[in-house]
Chain A
């Protein structure tokens, strides 16, 4: 906007007088935001408050009578081996996904931020799993990992028959497979966010570091990574939020099994509530889950933001 028209606006303001000036700066009327608050309140806020209340009852989801049982559900949770295992599995999965996304996502972004000719095509390939329906691709992976599936066929064809495994039947391998598939579906997202960050790193800065004698590792560590701090924050937060909440991939690949080796809080809440009808107990696990997620995501955001500011 030119200063001319800005001046014109000023003059008009003066003419309109102080009354309309207040009107103009008063913002927008509440009617604009109320429908959104109503829908969000109905779908998220009210049910979350109600869910918190259910956590202290023994409700089965069907009958009308439910009684307040205090902390009974939480006591049960503390001594329920399956629920306790699901908490640590959730943390292991989210942690592994975080590391995989940051390390592999960054490596892919650095590799594609070069002169290689296929970079646009490769970016598309690496990103594609992010948008493909998780349920569908998890069925493909379930076939690949099945006992007479593609992975074992490949190993046999390569003469590595003795490496064949019951990939989803062994507790350790099943957890690995679930982490692998979720990472496969998510590293492309970290990659494109890092790529967008890398494009903002000025070429001269890297050239200057090179002239000063910094090798590739030093340049990455001391020049590029600090410049990527905002992209890093975004990636860590997204990785934690998605990593803690995975459901589709686990439900299709292993349904929490074998035993409860790949059971996470998401799957156990679903099973407890909708397969076993224990809405009260399910709600209490969900409440603990919500507290864990909020604490982790809040602390991570706080620490990363602090770090970002220190670097700038």
Chain B
């Protein structure tokens, strides 16, 4: 805790860099192998490839249908986030502004969905999606994530709204604005910081999610990135270069977003994931 950089700090720094190297090892392997030819891999599987081989990327891109998958994932993520914000924010406004006892009742109602394992709902929901013929369509996933992530979204928003003084809304009402206008024009702009957190946390979760897209979309033209990667690797188990190029392309959208937004993402996770 001391403010000075001592010899102890230096030693700690060395130890921590070593620990970080272990942490980053799979990322090193992921990048290095994506740039290795089959031959180079056989000779020196761990080294940095001095003349990087780029052929893996076009093979991985086309064989894993990654263009389609990235489009599909992006579509599902964007639509789900739009629905979550459009429905979740007003719902949280209601929860934060209603009578305490009702608010607590709604809190418990939504909390159940966050704690109980989704597996219990997995089979009946699969059945329903099949009956209304949404299986194989990205709309099924948008609907699914809107429901699954709704409790978490409402908690984030409601916690934030409780810190906003009611005076803003009351002033707007006195000026003659109706409920809806008050919410859209007065409350929503105040929610901008927490909306960022909502988008980041839900966006990462939805992009990375695997089991439900596997059930709903595998075999269709709409496989998301994790599903496309999964079915691709299962088929081409031996061509490591191609596989790693596909893995690297698959993880790149998340990795790039993280590198650009890391400060706000880390802040969002540290403050937001409070269950």
Chain A interface (Cβ < 8 Å from any Cβ of B):
1, 5-6, 9, 12, 16, 23-24, 27-30, 32-33, 35-37, 39-40, 42-48, 50-52, 54, 61, 108, 111-118, 122-137, 139-141, 143-144, 150, 153-154, 157, 184, 189, 192-193, 195-196, 203, 206, 234, 237-238, 241, 244-245, 247-248, 251-252, 265-266, 269-270, 273-274, 279, 282-283, 286-287, 289-290, 293-294, 297-298
A241 in contact with B275 given A43-B146, A118-B17 (CB within 8 Å): yes
Point out the residues of chain B lying under 8 angstroms from A195, CB to CB: 270
Point out the residues of chain A lying under 8 angstroms from B270, CB to CB: 192-193, 195-196
Point out the residues of chain A lying under 8 angstroms from B83, CB to CB: 39
Question: From DSSP, what is the main secondary structure of chain A's interface residues?
Answer: helix
Which of A28, A108, A124, A134 lies in contact with B97, CB distance below 8 A? A28
Point out the residues of chain A lying under 8 angstroms from B273, CB to CB: 189, 193, 234, 238
Point out the residues of chain A lying under 8 angstroms from B171, CB to CB: 9
Could you tell me the distance between the alpha carbons of A294 and B78 in the complex, rounded to whole angstroms? Answer: 31
Could you tell me the distance between the alpha carbons of A114 and B151 in the complex, rounded to whole angstroms? Answer: 37
Could you tell me the distance between the alpha carbons of A139 and B235 in the complex, rounded to whole angstroms? Answer: 13
Which of A113, A131, A141, A157 lies in contact with B204, CB distance below 8 A? A131
Point out the residues of chain B lying under 8 angstroms from A244, CB to CB: 117
Contact in complex: A51, B147 (CB < 8 Å): no
Contact in complex: B12, A114 (CB < 8 Å): yes
Which of B88, B122, B174, B247 lies in contact with A139, CB distance below 8 A? B247
User: Per-position contact with A for B83-107: 1 when CB-CB < 8 Å, else 0?
Assistant: 1000110110111011100000010
Q: Name the distance in Å between B63's Cβ and chain A's nearest Cβ.
A: 15
Q: Name the distance in Å between B117's Cβ and chain A's nearest Cβ.
A: 5
A126 in contact with B251 given A117-B13, A192-B270 (CB within 8 Å): no
23 A-B pairs in the complex with CB atoms less than 8 angstroms apart? A9-B174, A12-B174, A32-B90, A36-B154, A44-B147, A51-B122, A115-B3, A127-B269, A128-B24, A131-B254, A131-B258, A137-B26, A150-B45, A192-B269, A245-B117, A247-B211, A248-B210, A248-B226, A251-B211, A286-B117, A289-B119, A290-B119, A294-B116
Could you tell me the distance between the alpha carbons of A28 and B83 in the complex, rounded to whole angstroms? Answer: 20
Is residue B27 contacting chain A, with contact meaning CB distance below 8 A? yes
Could you tell me the distance between the alpha carbons of A129 and B204 in the complex, rounded to whole angstroms? Answer: 12
Contact in complex: A293, B29 (CB < 8 Å): no
4 tightest CB-CB pairs across the interface, nearest first? A43-B147, A36-B91, A47-B121, A50-B124
